[in-house]
Amino acid sequence: MFRRLFGRGQDAPRSEEEAQQEEQKIDQATAKARSGLFGQISGLFAVDDPITEDFWDDLEALLIQADVGVETTQYLVNRTKDRCNRNGVKRVREAKGMLKAEMVRVFQDQVRAPAQAKPYVLLVVGVNGAGKTTLIAKLAHRLTVQYGKSVLLAAADTFRAAATEQLETWASRAGVPVITRGQGADPGAVVYDGVEAALAQNVDVLIIDTAGRLHAKANLMRELEKLRNIIRRHIPDAPHEVLLVIDATTGQNGVLQAKSLMQAVEVTDVAVTKLDGTAKGGIAFAIAQDIERPIRYIGTGEKMTDLAMFDSQAFVDSLLS
């Protein structure tokens, strides 16, 4: 994501050290899932028996238990069956590679070419409690420390108690400035100030935090539309990215919440937080399949550096290692 955002191209080569660091973070995020249900899924393939219908039934049951979701599970199982038939695979052990290929394909079907812009305006949305604030701080930290970019935050979640203070605290830890007007202020005024400051200071990236109140979806829809219009008065093609933050520990409820939020805003990308806190992990497949948006980032822990660019192959390999 960072490569595409700043012009290095999705397939630009990474250093061996950088690639290893990303893979280690993904391994860290999937540790619980790998030792839980996905460990059981891997165990299904540990024998050299002929493939039977009972095998497919067991695989389907475990995938559903792992939060992959009923529809996505059926899709994966049917696609894996077809791939096995096309490749003449008749033994259980050999079918593991077929499943992994279909899992990777779920993510790779979702592609997007982000705009190249300065300032690059990133609007962050998600229900309260999903981890938006910490995700924003981790992203800002990574952009500044690892990529040398100037970042400005705008605290437009002015309705939730202490939201502004939390963002200010995290911004201080990340070493980036933040535009605020305090709790109860007009979010539109905060966004206006943020865009004005980003242009005046020639910053590379403006990240805007927003409120996530699903119980007032109609109001939320109007508010987000208002914020987008304010941004576009200054930068006509912005926001360049609308990032939806989903808490992995909420499972299928997180997918339902995400679908509801997508009715209020045009989401372009997804970040999955707290993936390290769940023993299931299959929620990522349900997100990619049901929401039809690419996963860009995953939270891999509680530290400021615990953020990874999502790599579908590394993710699947880690889950089923």
160-182 tens-digit pLDDT: 767 888 889 988 988 999 999 87
User: Global pTM?
Assistant: 0.88
* Residue 130 assigned to a binding site: yes
Are 146 and 138 contacting, i.e. CB atoms less than 8 angstroms apart? no
What pLDDT, on the 0 to 100 scale, is given for residue 7? 39
Share of the chain above pLDDT 90, in %: 54
Mean pLDDT of 236-263: 86
Task: Indicate the SS3 state at residue 55.
Answer: helix
* Residue 32 assigned to a binding site: no
* Partner residues linked to 125 by β-bridges: 244
| CATH value at residue 130 | 3.40.50.300
Q: How far is CA 219 from the centre of its chain?
A: 25
Domain membership of residue 148 (yes or no) is yes
**Residue 130 class from Cβ within 10 Å (0-12 exposed, 13-18 middle, 19+ buried)?**
buried
Q: What token pair was written down for 224? A: 């987000």
Q: If pLDDT is split at 50, 70 and 90, which confidence band does 277 have?
A: confident
Query: Structural domain tally of the chain?
Result: 1
pLDDT of residue 19 exceeding 80, the answer is no
Determine the length of the chain. 321
305 versus 7: which is more confidently predicted?
305
Q: If pLDDT is split at 50, 70 and 90, which confidence band does 256 have?
A: confident
Domain membership of residue 87 (yes or no) is no
What pLDDT, on the 0 to 100 scale, is given for residue 6? 44
* Residue 134 assigned to a binding site: no
Domain membership of residue 40 (yes or no) is no
Q: Which domain holds residue 173?
A: 120-267
Domain membership of residue 80 (yes or no) is no
* Residue 273 assigned to a binding site: yes
Task: Indicate the SS3 state at residue 129.
Answer: coil
Range ranked top by mean pLDDT from 68-82, 123-137, 260-274, 277-291: 68-82
* Residue 274 assigned to a binding site: yes
* Residue 127 assigned to a binding site: yes
* Partner residues linked to 295 by β-bridges: 270
Domain membership of residue 277 (yes or no) is no
What pLDDT, on the 0 to 100 scale, is given for residue 214? 57
| Interacting residues of 164 by C-beta distance below 8 A, sequence separation 6+ | 155, 157, 158, 180, 181, 182, 183
* Residue 128 assigned to a binding site: yes
* Residue 211 assigned to a binding site: yes
Mean pLDDT of 235-252: 90
Domain membership of residue 208 (yes or no) is yes
| Phi, psi values for residue 213, rounded to 5° | -115, 90
* Residue 132 assigned to a binding site: yes
What pLDDT, on the 0 to 100 scale, is given for residue 266? 86
12-37: string of b/e by CB count within 10 Å (b at 16+)?
A: eeeeeeeeeebbebbbbbbbbbbebb
Q: Are β-strands 269-273 and 295-299 bridged in parallel, bridged antiparallel, or unpaired?
A: parallel
| Phi, psi values for residue 179, rounded to 5° | -95, 125
Q: Are β-strands 205-209 and 241-247 bridged in parallel, bridged antiparallel, or unpaired?
A: unpaired
Domain membership of residue 155 (yes or no) is yes
Domain membership of residue 276 (yes or no) is no
* Residue 129 assigned to a binding site: yes
Average pLDDT value over all residues in the chain: 87
What pLDDT, on the 0 to 100 scale, is given for residue 199? 97
